[in-house]
Amino acid sequence: MLNHVVRKMMAQRICVYQFTRLLSSSPNIPQLMEKFKPLITDRLVHETGVSAVLKLTDSAWTLDLRDEGTIKEGADETADITLDMNNEIFFQLIDGSTTTAAAYMSGQLKLEGNIMQAMKLSSLFKNMQSAIAEEAK
């Protein structure tokens, strides 16, 4: 489904904001998370060292960049931080139209835990941006 959406976006020259709106209206978070799993490398785990829960509009995901280097559905109670946001803000983080700092400062992202650990996730979001860009080619 994501391939279809990206091709459609390219054919119609849809802007990033419209792409975000299109993604946020469709239930493809699990597909995106599957696509992002290979992005969790040993180097990223070593550099980040954070376990985070992403609480989205209708799902929660655990990003273990501390021990296992995994992305899995569900909230792990032992995570270092929890980022609570709606799907649209998540898509804006991965398409590069906002940052964790900007979303937090504007109140669109709620944080439980250390803000400095949350900022460490920016490299993962940049990797996600690259994966989306590659998909669009």
Per-residue model confidence as pLDDT tens for the chain (137 residues): 444 445 444 544 444 544 454 444 444 889 889 888 888 889 889 988 999 999 999 999 999 999 889 999 999 999 999 999 999 999 888 888 888 889 999 999 999 999 888 888 887 888 777 776 776 66
Per-residue model confidence (pLDDT) at position 135: 65
Give the global pTM: 0.74
Torsion of CA 103, 75, 6, 100, to 10 degrees: 20
- Give yes or no for a contact between 49 and 63, defined as CB atoms under 8 angstroms apart: no
What is the maximum span of the chain, computed from C-alpha positions, in angstroms?
A: 44
| E runs forming strands in 6-68 | 50-55, 60-65
- Give yes or no for a contact between 129 and 54, defined as CB atoms under 8 angstroms apart: no
Rounded Cα–Cα distance for residues 94 and 133 (Å): 10
Per-residue model confidence (pLDDT) at position 137: 61
Per-residue model confidence (pLDDT) at position 68: 86
Per-residue model confidence (pLDDT) at position 14: 43
Per-residue model confidence (pLDDT) at position 9: 46
Per-residue model confidence (pLDDT) at position 28: 83
Per-residue model confidence (pLDDT) at position 62: 96
| Residue 96, CA atoms < 13 Å, CB-side half-sphere | 11
Q: Which two tokens stand for residue 59?
A: 């799902």
Per-residue model confidence (pLDDT) at position 103: 93
